[in-house]
Homo-oligomer: A and B are copies of this chain.
Amino acid sequence: MNGAESLVRTLVNGGVNLCFANPGTSEMHFVAALDRVPGMRCVPGLFEGVVTGAADGYFRMKGTPASTLLHLGPGLANGLANLHNAKKAHSGIINIVGQHAGYHIGYNAPLTSDIEGLARPMSSWVRTSPDARSVAKDGAAAIAAARSSPAQIATLILPADTAWNEAAGIAELGPDQQRPSYSPQAVETAARILRSDGERTLLLITGSALTEQGLLMAERVAAKSGCTVMGPTFRPRMARGRGRFSIERIPYVIEQALSTLQKFRHIVLVEADDPVAFFAYPNKPSLLKPEGCNVHRMTAWGENSIAALEALASVLHASAKDIKRQTQQELVKPTGPLNHTTIAQAIAYAIPENAIVIDESISTGRGFFSATTAAAPHDWLQNMGGSIGFSTPLSIGAAIGCPDRKVFCMVGDGSAMYTIQSLWTQAREGLDVVTIVFANRIYQILRGEFDGVGAGEPGQRALDMLKIDRPTLDFVALARGMGVPGRAVRTADEFNSALAEANAESGPRLIEVQM
């Protein structure tokens, strides 16, 4: 068996049976091995940002890494933006990048570049296999790195001759790393803070604490101690909807964030970080907590926050009977013109039971979060790295990981265009994804940021750089071009009906919401 086959077999043997791929010549032996090794599902993307974003989505829903296959330095480069987002989400990915044969690199052929240099900024683990006999064991090391706690982007670079030369066989994985537990002392300290000054304490939770069970425990702690529970502005995944503890998140807009946090004297971090501004702005702070606020870390990313929260509830003698739920809002099926309110209502109304909601709705979606607290139970996924063009690829991986769940992919028109090629893979794989594009024909977030950074009122030439209305994008045509049926809507009623239509059947669809 050659090096490529030894890698594919090691991956499958190690439980990595999914590969998102955009291969080239140097990866052909890996592709050829697919014919000989059963058990590896290979999903092609027409652009590498689709491939890496899909792997992120898969990890977020399954908690276990998929692999990718990318062609040399430029192929990796095209995938870096979504690797960046995945890294910031603490997702695990086994990112496999072809390289020229070792002896060929020195000749500076057209595709030669510094692949390790490109990989490092967006990977936590980087290795170039030195020879065919090392490929399997390097692959096993990459799996272990990707699966560590916290999970990692592990980039394995595979020179072509290591793929075609004779290998040593499959490499077995070592025993799974023990998932880090939590520090009982950190829980004791948190309990002391909550007992003494609960009303002025913020329990800031993310990661595994945002599962249904984590939220349940957090709710008990809040009910008993009087603390406020919030999430960070963005969260990789969060259980939400009817019957679940509904929490607010730190607002994106810096003035609102400062005002929201002002009352707290203590912040207890559960996997979250000390809150910072998304961007710097002239004469505005980077750190969002009020002066004198004491920050205590209860769990770090990847620790067992559910167990820690259970311990905290137990120390505080908090239980289900402490909880006094308010009556939840009624869902409203909107009518009339489309605006931010009716759009949010229509989505909340339509989210199906157990849906996966991917949110890159940016400015249009500012109100979606509060509007959907009473929607059917769902998971809500967001962009952790701020590089737009993440949602449509993410939907692919989420849908492949959870074929029985409907995916709502909500995306602004500007964001959708970075990785619009995702629609083709959705069609090819028959994925149950409803892509909802909010067509306001402007990078509206930047219109706000222009003001936020103190640049004043944009003139015509500046506005020309923010608007994308000349020509208007026809997303229904773009979807049709990639085999996805689409529909444009201009009223709340049309939007309701398009959503109902999408929910009635499985398979990819696109709705262009014309605002």
- Which residues does A use to contact B, with CB under 8 Å? 21, 23-26, 28-29, 31-32, 34-35, 42, 44, 46-47, 49, 72-75, 77-78, 80-81, 84-85, 88, 100-101, 103-104, 107-111, 113-114, 117-118, 120-122, 160-161, 164, 234, 273, 276-280, 282, 286-287, 383-387, 389, 414, 417-418, 420-421, 424, 427-428, 445-446, 449-450, 452-456, 458-462, 464-466, 468, 470-478, 480-483
Contact = CB atoms under 8 A, between A and B. Distances in A.
Nearest to A273: B108
A65 to B, nearest CB: 20
B74 A465 contact: no
Given A74-B387, A120-B114, A417-B421, A279 B31 contact: no
Contacts of A35: 458-462
11 contacts: A23-B446, A35-B458, A35-B461, A46-B417, A77-B77, A104-B276, A110-B386, A111-B387, A113-B121, A473-B483, A475-B481
B88 A110 contact: yes
B78 A81 contact: yes
Closest 6 interchain pairs by CB?
A471-B483, A74-B387, A35-B459, A478-B481, A477-B481, A101-B280
A474 B481 contact: yes
A385 B25 CA distance: 14
A471 B428 contact: yes
A174 B275 CA distance: 46
A73 B80 CA distance: 9
Contacts of A286: 103-104, 107, 109
Q: How many copies does the complex hold?
A: 2
Contact of A32 (B32, B42, B282, B458): B458
Given A113-B122, A120-B117, A25 B104 contact: no
Given A279-B104, A449-B25, A478 B472 contact: no
A264 to B, nearest CB: 19
Given A34-B462, A46-B418, A46-B468, 11 more contacts: A25-B446, A28-B450, A42-B464, A75-B387, A78-B80, A100-B279, A109-B278, A117-B120, A164-B453, A420-B420, A473-B483
Contacts of A461: 34-35, 42
A450 B24 CA distance: 9
Contacts of A110: 88, 234, 278, 383-386
Contacts of A453: 25, 28-29, 160, 164
Contacts of A276: 104, 107-109
A441 to B, nearest CB: 12
B120 A462 contact: no
A480 to B, nearest CB: 5
A420 B47 CA distance: 10
A111 B483 contact: no
A44 B78 contact: no
Given A32-B462, A104-B280, A465-B31, A24 B164 contact: no
A446 B109 CA distance: 18
Contact of A84 (B49, B77, B280, B383): B77
Residue with the highest number of chain B CB atoms closer than 10 Å, among A104, A414, A458:
A104
A35 B464 CA distance: 10
A293 B481 CA distance: 52
